[in-house]
């Protein structure tokens, strides 16, 4: 059966992609940020996932204001990137796993989630930048991918609790799939930031650090916030924390925080990365133990 080995949450700021493209990882203004990913690379090298379920928010590349699904799941053989206007290089397509995607989709619909099913899907910087951060310089794509897009653009937005429950359903879907796969759930976006209006440049460090604590030890406390609460405390674009709730909900076992890093890079966005390891009761049992 497929196993969820853990989750990674990471920011996806477009300027990160530009820094990667220009080789600025060791520049004084960027070094601390990129150094925060070294333990993530070590963990991924150790656990060697086969599949990444990437929970992200589309910024108008795939969906626009006239048609925005609350939740969309990709079921394509590959996912293409294209120019968004940020000056980022267009990257090679990401391989999909349609059979696995359809299993997840069917399971989510059976769990009463209304999913937009995408047999063709473009992925923007919210998907491509995190993949470059987690697997830097990879000549070949090390994992297949299943994109899960969450609306954070057009109100009404899904609530944090609804996103947490979506994660629970995704976790059940993954672990009911009859193939021996190691799956990592990646959440992208956040932390606090606002790009427009009278609060442009808003960052709430105290709220961010509280979220980093609670998402590990008490996610339900955070899930009780409303989407409007998130806008108030994290900024209009900080509502991207919704993706973190999906990732955390997908963890099905004993969750251990392996790494976290918080930093404000050359951007008006508070950035963070976190690694959570997931151990199910079966994985925690001694080798010769009988499980019931």
Q: What is the pLDDT of residues 59-68, one digit of tens each?
A: 988 999 899 9
The model's confidence at residue 288, banded by pLDDT at 50, 70 and 90, is very low
Task: Give the pLDDT confidence score for residue 287 in this predicted structure.
Answer: 43
pLDDT at 53: 98
Look-up of token digits 């509280």 = 210
Task: State mean pLDDT over 242-270.
Answer: 93
The pairing of beta strand 3-10 with beta strand 271-279: antiparallel
Using N-to-C axis directions, what is the helix angle for 38-47 and 125-134, rounded to 10°?
80
Kindly give, in sequence order, each residue whose CB lies less than 8 Å from that of residue 28, ignoring residues fewer than 6 positions away.
Answer: none
Residue tagged active-site, from 12, 59, 103, 125? 125
Reduced to 3 states (helix: H, G, I; strand: E, B; else coil), residue 276 is strand
Sheet of 182-188, strand order: 116-118, 71-74, 144-150, 51-56, 182-188, 3-10, 271-279, 254-263
The DSSP symbol for 92 reads P
* Residue 246: C-alpha distances to residues 127, 163, 182, 242, 250 (Å): 15, 5, 18, 7, 6
Q: Quick one: average pLDDT of 103-117?
A: 97
Percent of the chain residues topping a pLDDT of 90: 79
**pLDDT single digits (tens) 163-207:** 999 999 999 999 999 999 999 999 999 899 998 889 998 999 999
CA 53/CA 83 separation, integer angstroms: 23
Instruction: Determine whether 59 is an active site residue.
Output: no
Backbone dihedral region for residue 149 (phi beyond 0: left; psi -120 to 50: alpha; all else: beta): beta
Q: Scan for tokens 């009404």, then name that residue.
A: 156
Residue 289 pLDDT class (50, 70, 90 cuts): very low
Distance from C-alpha of 129 to C-alpha of 163, rounded to nearest angstrom: 22
Predicted pLDDT of residue 158: 97
Q: What is the model's pLDDT at position 255?
A: 96
Q: Does the annotation count 77 as an active-site position?
A: no
At 258, is the pLDDT very low, low, confident or very high (cuts 50, 70, 90)? very high
Residue 262: is its pLDDT beyond 90? Answer: yes
Catalytic residue, from 59, 80, 193, 259: name it.
Answer: 193
Stretch 218-231: mean pLDDT = 94
Architecture of domain 3-284: 3-Layer(aba) Sandwich (3.40)
Q: How confident is the model at residue 87 (pLDDT cuts 50, 70, 90)?
A: confident
Please state the three-class secondary structure of 190-218 as a single string: CCCCCCCCCCCCCCCHHHHHHHHHHHHHC
Residue that the structure tokens 């193939």 belong to: 179
What pLDDT does residue 292 have? 31
Can you spell out the DSSP letters for 121-136?
-B--HHHHHHHHHHST
Q: Whole-number mean pLDDT of the chain?
A: 92
Q: What is the pLDDT of residues 131-161, one digit of tens each?
A: 999 999 866 789 999 999 999 999 999 999 9
Cα distance between residue 110 and residue 169, in whole Å: 10
Q: Is the pLDDT of residue 291 over 50?
A: no
pLDDT of 283 reads 61
Lowest average pLDDT, out of 9-13, 197-201, 215-219, 223-227, goes to 197-201
Q: Which of 18, 114, 16, 71 is nearest to 243 (CA)?
A: 71
Cα four-point dihedral sign 172, 61, 240, 153: negative
Q: What is the CA radius of gyration of the chain?
A: 18
Query: What pLDDT is stored for residue 138 in this prediction?
Result: 65
Of 187, 192, 188, 190, the C-alpha closest to 233 is 192
Tell which wins on pLDDT, 3 or 87: 3
The region of weakest confidence among 10-14, 79-83, 194-198, 263-267 is 263-267
Rounded mean pLDDT, 27-37 = 94
């Amino acid at each position: 059966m497929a196993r969820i080995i853990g989750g990674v949450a990471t920011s996806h700021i477009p300027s990160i992609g530009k820094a990667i493209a220009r080789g600025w990882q060791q520049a004084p203004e960027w070094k601390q940020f990129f150094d925060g990913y070294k333990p993530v690379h070590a963990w991924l090298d150790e656990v060697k996932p086969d599949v990444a379920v990437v929970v992200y928010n589309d910024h108008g590349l795939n969906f626009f204001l006239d048609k925005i699904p609350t939740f969309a799941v990709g079921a394509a053989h590959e996912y293409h990137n294209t120019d968004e206007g940020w000056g980022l290089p267009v990257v090679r397509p990401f391989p999909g796993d349609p059979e696995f995607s359809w299993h997840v989709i069917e399971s989510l619909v059976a769990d009463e989630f209304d999913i937009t099913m995408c047999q063709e899907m473009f992925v923007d910087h919210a998907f491509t930048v995190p993949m470059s951060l987690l697997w830097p310089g990879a000549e070949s794509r090390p994992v297949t991918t299943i994109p899960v897009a969450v609306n954070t653009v057009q109100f009404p937005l899904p609530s944090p609790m609804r996103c947490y429950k979506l994660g629970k359903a995704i976790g059940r879907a993954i672990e009911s799939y009859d193939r021996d796969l190691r799956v990592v759930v990646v959440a992208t976006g956040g932390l606090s930031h606002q790009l427009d209006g009278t609060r442009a440049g808003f960052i709430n460090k105290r709220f961010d650090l509280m979220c980093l604590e609670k998402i590990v030890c008490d996610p339900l406390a955070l899930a009780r916030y409303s989407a409007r609460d998130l806008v108030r405390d994290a900024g209009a674009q900080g509502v991207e924390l919704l993706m973190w709730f999906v990732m955390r909900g997908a963890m099905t076992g004993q969750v251990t925080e392996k790494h976290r890093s918080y930093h404000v890079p050359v951007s008006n966005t508070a950035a963070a990365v976190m690694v959570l390891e997931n151990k199910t009761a079966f994985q925690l049992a001694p080798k010769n133990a009988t499980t019931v």
